[in-house]
């Protein structure tokens, strides 16, 4: 009878062993974890002559968490002096491959990079060598969720700081390399300690047992679970070497809860608690991470700082007692504060931008994008632009709400002026809220932001139109095919008789714009909009479209203005730059591409008019704030004040801002009193790059005389100057003929 029970028991244990061994083999020989895709911002590239100012590069280092020191020596440290930055660039695996840390000195003049030098050792002596280019590692933006609540960044054991491994082993399992997965000595020691205390004060589990529990078992407190845990620890220890087991533990250990996401592994834990890479943490910070293994909630350093400091100092004490650090370093370490970041976070949330990123992954990468495989996504986001846009929204929306007396929403899209790369995106008045993305999904009437496309269509016909062309500004009635009448009006309800074309654009007069659009022809205007990047199907072939009586998203508006602002070169707006798999293979990459969509001369003249909008037109408030930046822009207000728009252009970016209400009720704001104010707040924070437009061929400056009715007539010695596209030299010839005629009359008497 007894023998039968024993046999059954043995067979049961064998069966259990086979089952558990199968589970272990399946997990350890396959992919251990579902790894999220890590998302990075754009990388900043420095090279002599690059139009990157000293303060921009300094802000980049600060955004990346570099630490200011007197003498940079370690990765992630910098020293700033007048027009010079010395720093140790972190090692980073770019999409092209791994680059080691570099100790560099970058010098600037007032508007660009002057020189780059690297400290190297030659013949035992430190000296500087000149570099032609330097890439600064991109900021980690966050992760696209894998199909799991666990988040981690895998980092192999051999890249973990040795001080962290030492702290973990001396605290949790000092005989790790000696036992076979289960330590009888540790169990006995824990039993005695708990017996003396009359309660559980010490555990006897090895790191291998903890790994088995965390990876395969629940947290229930039962003898059966402990038996399975020990059994699996023995199997793991038998099948895999110690370094493999420790590698798995270092990346599996639970360290915090960030909302619905569990933070696993020391690499991600370092970013959660300190906002820095694991390799840059001091020994006291590493000791805190090792100490948190015992209970991340109980030792939560923000909630219980004294408790966490006590645990950290205990780990440091064990390290000095076991001669892992010396007495001097120990005393320095325990004297330090916890030095945490303000709050636990894995990254700043950019839900609108990530929404665009997911769409591009679906459209461009398709099945090559595998969730949970630890892919690395390189994007075009500029961390500084995103940060300043979010700050502007948080600052200005409550003020606009107060002014409008309504519950307002907003959207912001920022793109590189030349490349079309999306630098930032905000989808609502609460930038961190992942709700309806108004930047790419909200179709709203665009009002007067349509006008530059109409003026560009006219200026593309230089034999018919110029910036000085006279446009009628009188009451206008247009009749439809069925006899219906349309009576457009200027916003101020006034009429000026006639105005020059550039002034009609700068001051956003409706009647002159309609007259111009009808003279150009609706078909030509629509064709021009299509060339600028607007879907023809979105544009109704009706005269009212000349005043923006149709809907586009802020994203679509940005595309239209990017084409104009770049000299007529359309560059499709993109957020995704490259996708790299776990083996370092680039599985997708797209470089900025552009093509000439409209004549460069017509685009340049339109931008000239949009600069006049800032200096003397509807956006002159902006010129009061930044009079020397030569900014360009266009305000827009839809019917009954439902939508407030502003599109601003500096030398760096095209920025589209929309403000309105989701229920389409009036916002009580114009483009000038609403969206423009938010843009102004942003551009003041971002420090704009002056918009210097290189004058293209066949554009010349001509003199004009202002007539009594305020219109302009060409004159050889006029009071005003305006640029004009003169492909055949007719305007210049006209003036020459007048001078020749004058001289002939003068000397022929």
Any domain includes 186: yes
Structural domains counted in the chain: 4
* Collapsed DSSP state (helix, strand, coil) of residue 321: helix
Q: What is the pLDDT of residue 22?
A: 60
Any domain includes 738: yes
- Same domain? For 274 and 409 the reply is no
| Torsional class of 377: left (φ above 0), alpha (ψ -120 to 50), beta (otherwise) | beta
Any domain includes 367: no
Backbone φ and ψ for 201, nearest 5 degrees, come out as -120, -10
Domain end (from 664, 686, 708): 686
* Collapsed DSSP state (helix, strand, coil) of residue 16: helix
Active-site hit among 172, 556, 653, 689: 172
Q: What is the pLDDT of residue 11?
A: 60
Domain that holds residue 130: 46-139
- Same domain? For 102 and 212 the reply is no
Q: Check which CATH number belongs to the domain holding 621 and give it.
A: 3.40.710.10
Is residue 204 within 8 A of residue 189, CB to CB? The reply is yes
Strands (E), 522-585: 551-552, 569-570, 576-580
- Same domain? For 532 and 447 the reply is yes
- Same domain? For 674 and 730 the reply is no
Q: d(Cα 530, Cα 516) in Å, to the nearest integer? A: 18
The question of whether 667 is a catalytic residue gets the answer no
Residue pLDDT, tens place only, 470-516: 999 999 999 877 778 899 999 999 999 999 999 999 999 999 999 99
- Same domain? For 616 and 483 the reply is yes
What single string gives the DSSP state of each residue in 626-682?
A: -TTS--EEEEEE-GGG-EEEEEEE-SSEEEEEEEE-TT----S--TTTTHHHHHHHH
Domain end (from 115, 139, 163): 139
Any domain includes 460: yes
Any domain includes 436: yes
Any domain includes 90: yes
Is residue 377 within 8 A of residue 576, CB to CB? The reply is yes
Q: What is the pLDDT of residue 201?
A: 44
- Same domain? For 548 and 501 the reply is yes
- Same domain? For 670 and 713 the reply is no
Q: State the residue for tokens 């030659």.
A: 122
Any domain includes 89: yes
- Same domain? For 130 and 153 the reply is no
Active-site hit among 75, 205, 429, 448: 448
Q: What is the pLDDT of residue 342?
A: 87
Q: What is the pLDDT of residue 197?
A: 55
Any domain includes 30: no
- Same domain? For 563 and 642 the reply is yes
- Same domain? For 207 and 327 the reply is yes
The question of whether 172 is a catalytic residue gets the answer yes
Domain end (from 139, 165, 182): 139
Q: What is the pLDDT of residue 23?
A: 58
- Same domain? For 707 and 678 the reply is no
Q: What is the pLDDT of residue 9?
A: 55
- Same domain? For 399 and 430 the reply is yes
Name the stretches of the chain with pLDDT < 70. Answer: 1-32, 145-148, 185-204, 217-225, 347-348, 733-749
Residue pLDDT, tens place only, 516-557: 999 999 999 999 999 999 999 999 999 999 999 999 999 999
Closest of 255, 286, 295 to residue 150, by C-alpha: 255
Q: How far is CA 718 from CA 188, 470, 715, 722, in A?
A: 102, 17, 5, 10
Q: How far is CA 513 from CA 327, 570, 643, in A?
A: 80, 24, 20
């Amino acid at each position: 009878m007894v023998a039968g029970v024993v046999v059954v028991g043995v067979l049961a244990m064998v069966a259990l062993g086979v089952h558990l061994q199968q589970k272990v083999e399946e997990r350890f020989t396959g992919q251990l974890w579902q790894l999220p895709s890590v998302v990075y911002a754009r990388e900043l590239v420095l090279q002599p002559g690059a139009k990157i100012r000293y303060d921009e590069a300094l802000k980049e280092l600060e955004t990346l968490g570099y630490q200011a020191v007197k003498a940079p020596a370690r990765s992630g440290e910098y020293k700033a002096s007048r027009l010079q930055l010395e720093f140790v660039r972190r090692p980073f695996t770019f999409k092209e491959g791994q680059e080691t840390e570099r100790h560099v000195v970058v010098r600037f003049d007032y508007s660009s990079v002057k020189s780059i030098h690297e400290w190297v050792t030659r013949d035992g002596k430190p000296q500087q060598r000149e570099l032609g280019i330097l890439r600064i590692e991109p900021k980690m933006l966050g992760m696209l969720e894998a199909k799991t609540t666990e988040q981690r960044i895998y980092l192999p054991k051999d890249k973990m700081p040795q001080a962290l491994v030492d702290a973990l082993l001396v605290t949790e399992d000092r005989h790790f390399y000696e036992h076979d997965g289960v330590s009888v000595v540790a169990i006995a020691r824990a039993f005695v300690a708990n017996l003396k205390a009359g309660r559980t004060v010490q555990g006897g589990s090895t790191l291998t047992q903890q790994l088995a529990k965390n990876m395969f078992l629940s947290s229930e407190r039962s003898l059966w679970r402990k038996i399975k845990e020990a059994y699996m620890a023995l199997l793991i220890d038998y099948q895999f070497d110690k370094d493999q087991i420790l590698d798995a533990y270092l990346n599996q250990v639970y360290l915090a809860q960030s909302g619905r996401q569990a933070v696993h592994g020391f690499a991600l834990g370092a970013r959660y608690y300190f906002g820095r890479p694991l390799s840059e943490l001091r020994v006291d910070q590493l000791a805190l991470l090792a100490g948190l293994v015992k209970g991340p909630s109980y030792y939560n350093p923000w909630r219980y700082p004294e408790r966490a400091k006590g645990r950290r100092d205990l780990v440091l004490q064990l390290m000095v007692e076991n001669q892992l650090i010396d007495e001097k370093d120990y005393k320095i370490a325990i004297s330090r504060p916890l030095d945490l970041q303000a709050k636990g976070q894995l990254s700043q949330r950019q839900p609108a931008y990530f929404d665009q990123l997911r769409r591009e992954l679906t459209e461009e990468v398709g099945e090559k994008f595998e969730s949970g495989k630890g892919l690395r996504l390189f994007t075009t986001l500029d961390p500084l632009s995103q940060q300043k846009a979010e700050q502007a929204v948080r600052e200005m929306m409550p003020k606009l709400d107060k002014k409008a007396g309504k519950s307002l929403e907003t959207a912001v899209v920022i793109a590189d002026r030349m490349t079309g790369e999306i630098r930032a995106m905000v989808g609502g008045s609460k930038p961190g809220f992942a709700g309806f993305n108004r930047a790419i999904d909200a179709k709203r009437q665009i009002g007067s932001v349509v006008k530059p496309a109409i003026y560009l269509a006219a200026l593309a016909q230089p034999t018919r139109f110029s910036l000085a062309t006279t446009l009628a500004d009188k009451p206008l009635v247009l009749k439809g095919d069925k006899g219906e009448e349309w009576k457009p009006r200027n916003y101020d309800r006034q009429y000026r008789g006639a105005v020059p074309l550039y002034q009609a654009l700068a001051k956003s007069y409706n009647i002159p714009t309609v007259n111009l659009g009808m003279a150009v022809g609706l078909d030509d205007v629509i064709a021009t909009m299509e060339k600028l990047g607007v879907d023809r199907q979105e544009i109704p072939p009706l005269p009212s479209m000349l005043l923006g009586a149709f809907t586009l998203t802020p994203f679509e508006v940005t595309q239209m203005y990017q084409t104009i602002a770049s000299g007529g070169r359309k560059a499709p707006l993109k957020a995704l730059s490259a996708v790299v798999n776990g083996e370092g293979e680039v599985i997708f990459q797209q470089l900025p591409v552009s093509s000439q969509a409209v004549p460069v001369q017509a685009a340049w003249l339109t931008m000239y008019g949009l600069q006049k909008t800032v200096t003397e037109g509807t956006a002159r408030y902006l010129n009061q704030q930044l009079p020397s930046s030569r900014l360009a822009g266009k305000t827009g207000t839809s019917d009954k004040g439902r939508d407030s728009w502003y599109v601003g252009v500096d030398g760096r970016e095209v920025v589209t801002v929309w403000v309105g209400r989701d229920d389409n009720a009036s916002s009580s704001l114009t483009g000038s009193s609403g969206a423009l104010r938010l843009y102004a707040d942003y551009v003041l924070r971002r420090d704009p790059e002056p918009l210097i437009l290189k004058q293209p061929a066949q554009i010349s400056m001509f003199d004009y005389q202002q007539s009594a009715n305020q219109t302009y007539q060409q004159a050889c010695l006029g009071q005003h100057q305006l640029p004009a596209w003169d492909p055949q030299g007719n305007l210049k010839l006209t003036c020459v003929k007048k001078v020749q005629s004058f001289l002939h009359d003068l000397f022929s008497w």
